[in-house]
Amino acid sequence: MSSDHVAIESSLQENRLFPPSAQFSAQSHIKSRQQYEQMYRQSIDDPDTFWGNVAKELSWSRPWDKVLDWKSPYAKWFVGGQTNMAVNCLDRNIERGLGDKVAILWEGEPLAQGKSPEIRRITYRQLHQMTNRFANGLRKLGVKKGDRVTIYMPMVPEAAVAMLACARIGAPHSVIFGGFSSQAISDRVIDAQSQYLITSDGGWRRGSVVELKKNVDEALTKTDLIKKVIVLKHTGQQIPWIEGRDVDWKDVIDGASDQCAAEPMDSEDLLYVLYTSGSTGKPKGIIHTTGGYMVGCYLTTKYTFDLHDNDVYWCTADIGWVTGHSYVVYGPLCNGATTFMYEGAPNFPDFSRFWDIIERHKITIFYTAPTAIRAFMKAGRELVDKHDLSSLRVLGSVGEPINPEAWIWYQQVIGHGKCPIVDTWWQTETGCIMITPLPGVTATKPGTATLPFFGIDAAVVDRTGKELPPNQGGLLVMRKPWPSMLRGIFNDPDRYVRQYWSDVPGCYFSGDGARRDSDGYFWIMGRVDDVLNVSGHRLGTAEIESALVSHEAVAEAAVVGVPHEMKGQGVAAFVTLKAGYHASDDLKKQLLNTVVKAIGAIARPDQIRFSEALPKTRSGKIMRRLLKELAGTGDVKGDVTTLEDFSVIARLKESDEG
Ligand code: PRX
């Protein structure tokens, strides 16, 4: 935790209240605040009964002996139970009579002049067959239970098939966001010790092809761990082919049976690893296991979005993020829902694409990020108003605090005042939604994620773990384990304890600051560690710094977050150069490229400032607080008493920006 954050001030006051309509509450799964309170109490006081009852709704090949085994900070859920995520997402739904229901509804990005986009409707039965064939193909290639499979795919149904097939045969997947660079791929392949990689020739993004296979080829020059690369031919351009290593997806499924015995997975067997940024330079492989995560996905999707049989549900996240794992693939599918996937960019060919999609497919539940909402606001409501969005019933937000202005726009312009808004707070580590309104229950206020979900004992505390009074900012912690919580960090068990369970005694510390208002609502105030949230995506300042110092000209770099109108937070980099190197526009360009190459375009700094020195304390620690202030406001008014060399600030103020 950064020591620059001594106290967290909270000034945001927003008191407008939006209760759900009586009509909405009457049809929702949970109908009243009283019902929520009663269920919440049971989930906290008697978690075994609460979660045991939920888990019984799903399918297990062996029942559990014990719901929870908790030896802080290690939790085991549904101990002794065996199940399989793919069976719950597919077979169970077919058995319930949903075989002909559309499981994945997909739309491709390209729009030939005046033509409709490509649309695919894949029923539960078809998805079951596709998954089984591919799973059999993977087994034939040698993939066994426990082998980590890396997935680097565009947003196409086959990406979900790949995840489900891995789950079916018990091979944990490690999905890498398609916007990450080749360096990010090789780092993650090496950390996960993965021997199999599934990719595609490319994916469509804003009218161009993102060359995924090319990035993979480049990544694999840095490691020879990967034995097989399975390539889905999607965009169709020429790609280099390495005989013996590369295998066409078609050949993997060719002749494979559409029946595939699912691997019985122990409830605590690894389902997936997903890398996310932390406060060091090295991304952490967050571990999620099978049973508890499945139960969490199932219940949170059902209640947070008030999911019903005839809903057409669209979460706009990419499968490369945890939101894509839990709320594009696993949550909706294990509820037997129709999950909509869109391949491309929100602004292709212009910012009306999402509204076209909602109208065309009669989307009923729409879950997106504040950064997207702000971009839509900027593009103007005229684009929205041309469309019939009357199918929408519930709107969701995730990834960063939603500013009240964007909340109100979402509620009025997209939801026409009739759709409850669920502002959902959670993390890669939490696996599932933790703090959220429930659509038929919670009177919402713009900017707050409101109340904890069932089983979540969230609190705002000081560093000793003492709960703080209303409206005092503090640390957001969980005081009890929950089913979908991370079970560790891949290859780094000590970091799990250090990172999450050491700052506040006996609690899971989220890394976020928050306050609770007098109604008990949680207001998230952002990260208190060295993690940035750029467009709802997590980036470690240390990761960007280590990319910058990898350039031969750079002696030292410090990266801080600055407020950004669209992205929520932007990236500002302060750089000192080695002797003999001089600041120039060309060097600036080279540094930007170095970051993009090392991490991906999402990490590209918005500002680079060259400086002769960085402000440090006498013990040599960079004072990021001052850099943050300078990058954000152009001035430094904060306390500088611990600064070692006062002249640094004056020189920094003169430094070039942009
Ligand atoms: O700071 C919080 C912010 O996003 C962080 C988690 O990022 P990540 O693991 O990438 O997962 C994003 C999607 C779940 C949190 O620590 N965050 C997420 N949702 C919200 C949020 N901040 C405020 N309000 C939210 N609804």
pLDDT band at 654 (very low <50, low <70, confident <90, very high): confident
Higher pLDDT, 564 or 279: 564
Q: How far apart are CA 103 and CA 106, in angstroms?
A: 10
Write down the mean pLDDT value for the chain: 94
Q: Does the Cβ of 540 fall within 6 Å of ligand 1?
A: no
Can you tell me which atom of ligand 1 is nearest the CA of 321? 10
* Average pLDDT score over residue span 531-551: 92
Q: In what order do the strands lie in the sheet with 60-62?
A: 60-62, 82-83, 265-266
What tens digit of pLDDT does each residue of 94-127 get? 999 999 999 999 999 999 776 789 999 999 999 9
**Does the pLDDT of residue 2 top 80, yes or no?**
no
Q: 13 CA distance to ligand 1 centroid (A)?
A: 21
Can you tell me which atom of ligand 1 is nearest the CA of 531? 1
Q: 330 CA distance to ligand 1 centroid (A)?
A: 19
Instruction: Identify the pLDDT of residue 3.
Output: 38
Nearest CA to ligand 1 atom 8: 427
Q: 402 CA distance to ligand 1 centroid (A)?
A: 11
pTM: 0.94
Higher pLDDT, 614 or 138: 138
Instruction: Identify the pLDDT of residue 12.
Output: 55
Q: Does the Cβ of 431 fall within 6 Å of ligand 1?
A: no
The answer to whether domain 122-272 has CATH 3.40.50.980 is yes
What tens digit of pLDDT does each residue of 283-321 get? 999 999 999 999 999 999 999 999 999 999 999 999 999
Q: Does the Cβ of 300 fall within 6 Å of ligand 1?
A: no
Instruction: Identify the pLDDT of residue 657.
Output: 54
Q: Does the Cβ of 510 fall within 6 Å of ligand 1?
A: yes
Q: Does the Cβ of 284 fall within 6 Å of ligand 1?
A: no
Q: How far is CA 223 from the centre of its chain?
A: 27
Can you tell me which atom of ligand 1 is nearest the CA of 397? 26
Q: Does the Cβ of 523 fall within 6 Å of ligand 1?
A: no
Instruction: Identify the pLDDT of residue 4.
Output: 38
Q: Does the Cβ of 323 fall within 6 Å of ligand 1?
A: yes
CB 184 within 8 A of CB 222: no
Q: What is the dihedral of CA 325, 330, 336, 341, to 10 degrees?
A: 20
Q: Does the Cβ of 279 fall within 6 Å of ligand 1?
A: no
pLDDT band at 7 (very low <50, low <70, confident <90, very high): very low
Query: Residue written as tokens 């375009």?
Result: 601
Q: 321 CA distance to ligand 1 centroid (A)?
A: 11
Q: 426 CA distance to ligand 1 centroid (A)?
A: 5
Looking at the domain covering 531-653, what would its CATH class be? alpha beta
Q: Does the Cβ of 427 fall within 6 Å of ligand 1?
A: yes
Q: Does the Cβ of 317 fall within 6 Å of ligand 1?
A: no
Hey, where are the domains in the chain?
18-85+288-458+482-504, 122-272, 531-653
The residue whose CB lies within 8 Å of the most ligand 1 atoms, and thus the one to mutate among 400, 445, 451, is 400
* Average pLDDT score over residue span 486-509: 96
Instruction: Identify the pLDDT of residue 342.
Output: 98
Nearest CA to ligand 1 atom 26: 425
Can you tell me which atom of ligand 1 is nearest the CA of 511? 16
Exposed / middle / buried, residue 598 (Cβ in 10 Å: 0-12, 13-18, 19+): buried
pLDDT band at 1 (very low <50, low <70, confident <90, very high): very low
Nearest CA to ligand 1 atom 3: 400
Q: Does the Cβ of 527 fall within 6 Å of ligand 1?
A: yes
Q: 348 CA distance to ligand 1 centroid (A)?
A: 26
* Average pLDDT score over residue span 365-383: 95
Q: 587 CA distance to ligand 1 centroid (A)?
A: 34
The residue among 256, 230, 255 whose CA lies nearest residue 242 is 230
Q: Does the Cβ of 511 fall within 6 Å of ligand 1?
A: yes
Q: Does the Cβ of 539 fall within 6 Å of ligand 1?
A: no
* DSSP assignment of 218-286: HHTTS-----EEEEE--S-------TTTEEEHHHHHTT--S--PPPPEETTSEEEEEEE--SSSS-EEE
Residue percentage of the chain with pLDDT more than 70: 97
Q: 632 CA distance to ligand 1 centroid (A)?
A: 22
List the beta strands (DSSP E) in 479-553: 488-489, 508-516, 522-527, 531-534, 537-540
Q: Does the Cβ of 423 fall within 6 Å of ligand 1?
A: yes
Q: Does the Cβ of 322 fall within 6 Å of ligand 1?
A: yes
Can you tell me which atom of ligand 1 is nearest the CA of 436? 26
Nearest CA to ligand 1 atom 23: 401
**Does the pLDDT of residue 74 top 50, yes or no?**
yes
pLDDT band at 658 (very low <50, low <70, confident <90, very high): very low
3-state secondary structure 73-112: CEEEEEECCEECHHHHHHHHHHHHHHCCCEEEEEECCCCC
Q: 534 CA distance to ligand 1 centroid (A)?
A: 11
Can you tell me which atom of ligand 1 is nearest the CA of 429? 9
Which amino acid belongs to residue 587?
L
Q: Does the Cβ of 447 fall within 6 Å of ligand 1?
A: no
* Average pLDDT score over residue span 416-434: 98
What tens digit of pLDDT does each residue of 209-231 get? 999 999 999 999 999 999 999 99
The answer to whether the 18-85+288-458+482-504 and 122-272 domains have the same CATH topology is: yes
Q: Does the Cβ of 474 fall within 6 Å of ligand 1?
A: no
Q: 558 CA distance to ligand 1 centroid (A)?
A: 23
Say which residues have a Cβ less than 8 Å from residue 404's Cβ, sequence separation at least 6: 14, 16, 446, 447
Instruction: Identify the pLDDT of residue 203.
Output: 98
**Does the pLDDT of residue 199 top 60, yes or no?**
yes
Q: 420 CA distance to ligand 1 centroid (A)?
A: 20
The residue whose CB lies within 8 Å of the most ligand 1 atoms, and thus the one to mutate among 538, 539, 567, is 538
**Does the pLDDT of residue 644 top 90, yes or no?**
no
Q: How far apart are CA 340 and CA 188, in angstroms?
A: 28
Looking at the domain covering 18-85+288-458+482-504, what would its CATH class be? alpha beta
Nearest CA to ligand 1 atom 14: 427
Q: Does the Cβ of 533 fall within 6 Å of ligand 1?
A: yes
What tens digit of pLDDT does each residue of 586-596 get? 999 999 999 99
Instruction: Identify the pLDDT of residue 13.
Output: 61
Q: 260 CA distance to ligand 1 centroid (A)?
A: 37
Residue percentage of the chain with pLDDT more than 90: 87
